[in-house]
Amino acid sequence: MLWVGLHLPLLSLETFSASLPPAPEHPPIALVDAHHIVGADASAQALGVSVGMKRATALSLAPHLLLGQADAWRDAQALQAVAHAALAFTPMVCLPAPDGVLLDVQSSLRYFGGLAALLRRLRDALAPFGHRVQLVSAPTPHGAALLARLHDGLHCPDRHALQQALEEAPLAVLATAVPHEEALLGMGLRCLGELRQLPRAGVARRFGKGLLDEMDRAFGDRPDPREPLVLPPTFRSELESFFARADTTEQLLHGAQRLLLRLVAWLSAQHAFVTRFRLLMKHEARWRVDDGGGRSAPFTTLEIALAEPSRDVAHMLTLLRERLAHVQLPAPTLELVIESDDIVRRPPPNAELFPTPQSERAGLVQLIERLQARLGREQVQCLVPVADHRPERATQVVPAEPRLMKRAQGATADATHSLRDPLTRPLWLLPEPQALQERQSHPLLDGHLVQLLAGPERIETGWWDGGLTERDYFIGQTREGALVWVYRMRPQHLPSSRAPGWFLHGRFA
């Protein structure tokens, strides 16, 4: 077996920073728990702030220090997204610690072209989350997890290399050694190699059997079974407690992008695409008062329906931006939630060198979705065929719905195979047929004869609904060479000899 251990040393700071509004730069940041500093970024450490320091002491060193509350639940949400992204590389993913992820990649090496290629793609998949990641590979899961806390990029191909790396590790890397750290240091022990040379019976009697068990699991001397992570059937992720109230579209999109990245990781883990998701915005309570004196809804919900299943973060973020531009929020937003349970599973898109009709249609669908989000669904329309031979009634204008788009895509694909068939009807019809003069029973357009090239196409229909139509259609050519569609009324239906018999009904592009 070959395990890859991921360690996120700045997970708590990074998840807290995600709740801050976008800005060119932020003041030094530190996290507090029980009035003590539990994490500090590089800027805060440069001012003397360190882990374990009291809150008041840290503020005396850095008066402009931005303090945030440590939140294990917030960190767990972010770590779960990293684990979901890892599931795209192997089904065996575990969460061994609050700041680490384990992957068994032995069975995936051949598919991804070797360990180096797999690790490179894994880093690329995790890069959008913005976390600092330390990555180590080793033949045992606990060994990989421990070494990832100390190194980045280390590869132990066998147990001999793993043993050498672990024996140089400090004792504090073992969780069971931390309570006995002072006693172990008093004995002159600094690393695992020195501890491993002591008599096992004496170590177990003085420090407990758990210390030996953890060390054995790391070195591979003891079985270490792991339970794989199971994906939830539906997606729900929250970004709670904005440090500053979000009252602009950019602030909301900054938080929504983090949640959409988590949604895409959940989708990629099961080779799925989303067709619909919801954005819930929880508002500040003291602002939720409407004009009538009552209280407005605590949540504003945006339902985003995609015409084509997708897991493109940029596209979904664009749709959210367009929708948010038309929403009047009742109050600043404190929390964001994204939910989804409407997904489809399909093969991933082909990464073709040249665009195919399928990829071009996908671009058209995304364009229509953007127009619908900006202008409103009723303002984006399309033509659908109607079972009627009369040209003016053969199509109907309706809002562009996803099901109609799919039907149109199918019709486009069919048309691609029948381009050799002549086009007998124009795509552009006049709103009303234009009466034409005639000379010796031939139509005139702008005073010149229209040369008839093809026809007639006789249409006789509409007797059942009072719209009787009996016409003979011709394809004609004007003096300038343009093709037009004209028709002649059947002579027996002309009201008088002075009434026009020829009409212009359409033009060919």
Task: Find out whether 337 and 252 touch, Cβ atoms under 8 Å.
Answer: no
Contacts 24+ apart (CB under 8 A), 29-37: 29/65, 29/66, 29/68, 30/58, 30/62, 30/65, 30/66, 30/67, 30/68, 31/67, 31/68, 31/69, 31/70, 32/67, 32/68, 32/69, 32/70, 33/69, 33/70
pLDDT surpassing 80 at residue 379: no
pLDDT surpassing 80 at residue 352: no
**Alpha helix segments (H runs only) across 190-349:** 192-196, 200-207, 209-219, 249-269, 313-324
The angle at the Cα of 185, spanning 98 to 153, to the nearest 5 degrees, equals: 45
pLDDT surpassing 60 at residue 201: yes
Task: Find out whether 502 and 438 touch, Cβ atoms under 8 Å.
Answer: yes
Q: Going edge to edge, which strands form the sheet with 502-507? A: 448-449, 442-445, 428-439, 502-507, 483-489, 469-477, 451-461
Phi, psi of 174 (to 5 degrees): -85, 125
The fraction of the chain above a pLDDT of 90, given in percent, is 52
Question: Residue 431 contacts by C-beta under 8 Å, 6 or more apart in sequence?
Answer: none
pLDDT (tens digit per residue) in 242-267: 556 677 788 888 889 999 999 999 99
Q: How far apart are CA 494 and CA 491, in angstroms?
A: 5
Q: Which residue has the tokens 């037009």?
A: 484
Q: Find the mean pLDDT for residues 221-226.
A: 93
Residues in the chain: 509
Confidence of residue 86 (pLDDT cuts 50, 70, 90): very high
pLDDT surpassing 70 at residue 170: yes
pLDDT surpassing 50 at residue 416: no
Q: What is the DSSP letter of 311?
A: -
Query: What was the pLDDT predicted at 297?
Result: 57
Query: What was the pLDDT predicted at 251?
Result: 83
Provide Rg for the chain, Cα atoms. Answer: 35
Q: In 3-state terms, what secondary structure has residue 28?
A: coil
**Closest by Cα among 360, 274, 354, 369 to 320:** 369
Q: Which residue has the tokens 């007797």?
A: 463
Q: What stretch of H or E contains 470?
A: strand 469-477
CA 396 to chain centre: 35
pTM of the model: 0.72
Query: What was the pLDDT predicted at 402?
Result: 52
Tokens of 14: 């990074």
Phi, psi of 235 (to 5 degrees): -105, 135
Burial 144-165 (b: 16+ CB within 10 A, else e): bbbbbbbbeebbbeebeebbeb
The amino acid at 244: A
pLDDT surpassing 50 at residue 353: no
Q: What is the DSSP letter of 191?
A: B
Q: How far apart are CA 136 and CA 131, in angstroms?
A: 16
pLDDT (tens digit per residue) in 3-26: 999 999 999 999 998 888 777 788
Q: Find the mean pLDDT for residues 144-155.
A: 95
Q: How far apart are CA 135 and CA 148, in angstroms?
A: 6
Tokens of 227: 């339970």
Phi, psi of 190 (to 5 degrees): -120, -25
Tokens of 3: 């395990």
pLDDT (tens digit per residue) in 297-329: 578 889 988 878 888 898 899 888 888 888 887
